[in-house]
Structure 1
Amino acid sequence: MCQHQPPCPSADSADRESARHVAHHPEQGWSLLCNGVLLFEDTGELLPDGQIIAPHRPLGTGKVMTAA
């Protein structure tokens, strides 16, 4: 699928999220990457083979911020 040089990481690669954006729809919360991965704004992914990768946002510090 990828025509770039050097080619983008494949969909089964650990760094698949670093592939180039082919379509970007922030208003809908998703992007299509060059390797066929659908990347969602919550960091979830749908791979070309139908496999679902659960959202993997970094966890917060657990501290609650209060207004002064």
Structure 2
Amino acid sequence: MCPHNPPCPAAHEPDREHARVIGRDYLLGWALLCNGTIVFDYTGSLLPDGQVLAPHRPLLAGAA
């Protein structure tokens, strides 16, 4: 359970990466979010249920 007010987005919600960071390893390049999601510096994610989300980056406007 998230102790923050307002609560962080759940791991299954689209804005899951907006949850607060509660742990980080700069050397290995990952952060643990309050909702149990692990976010990697290369933008991939690992959800608490073991689901892997491929790296994703926003597209820049006007980029070809």
TM range (shorter): 0.7 to 0.9
Which position in structure 2 is the counterpart of 1:48?
48
TM-score, normalising length: structure 2: 0.87
Which of the two has higher C-alpha Rg? Answer: 1
Pairs aligned (count): 62
Q: Percent of pairs identical after alignment?
A: 56
Root-mean-square deviation (CA), in Å? 1.4
Mark the runs of 5 or more structure 2 residues left unpaired by the alignment.
Answer: none
Q: What's the CA shift string for 1:14-65, capped at 9, x where partnerless?
A: 1000000010112111000000000000100000000000000235746xxx
- Determine the C-alpha separation between the residues in 2 that align with 1:58 and 1:43: 10
- Determine the C-alpha separation between the residues in 2 that align with 1:59 and 1:34: 27
